[in-house]
Amino acid sequence: MIELPRVSVFRKEHFNAAHRLYNANWSDEKNQEVFGLCNNPNFHGHNYELIVQITGTINPETGYVIDMKEVSQLIQKEIIKKFDHKNLNLDVPEFAQLNPTAENIALVIYQKIRATLATNLDLKIRLYETERNFVEFPAH
């Protein structure tokens, strides 16, 4: 059996959101020690850059791995409309009990997109919290 070549396509989006890093099981002093400025009780914000990578084989009929218009619509519906200009701690149900670190935000984004993406496609999320700080999920 001939293995078809796999190709990755990427879609870049951005959203702005506020959050506070905080562990309710810890004292205010420990939260301040561990999270520093990110523990501001009045929250703080980031201009997040999101890169969604989808990998699969090229459909011989369309020439696409996936229609990028479909990818854009999926990201808009599942991520941007729910996260953009929101307070992640207060406005996004997934973070009601989950600390909205960049790592956890990337994981939640992955789960939301993975749930609607065809199973024959692989997914990777890269999320920039700042120009110099970013995370990827999955890590392999």
Residue 140 annotated in active site: no
Question: Catalytic residue among 14, 33, 44, 85, which?
Answer: 85
- Residue 22: predicted pLDDT: 95
How far apart are alpha carbons 79 and 100 in whole angstroms? 14
Q: Look at residue 4 in the predicted model and tell me its pLDDT.
A: 83
* Residues 129/102, Cβ–Cβ less than 8 Å: yes
Choose, from 129, 131, 136, 140, the residue flagged as catalytic.
129
13 is catalytic: no
DSSP state, residue 43: -
Considering the candidates 14, 19, 38, 70, report the single residue annotated as catalytic.
38
pLDDT recorded at residue 140: 74
- Per-block average pLDDT, block size 10, for the chain (140 residues)? 88 98 96 96 96 97 96 98 98 97 98 97 98 94
For tokens 């229609």, the residue is 67
**pLDDT for res 3:** 80
pLDDT at 84: 98
Across the strands, what pairs with 131? none
pLDDT score, position 52: 98
Residue 117 carries which DSSP code? S
Amino acid 38: pLDDT: 95
Q: Is-catalytic flag, 46?
A: no
In the three-class reduction of DSSP (H, G, I as helix; E, B as strand; rest coil), residue 8 is classed as strand
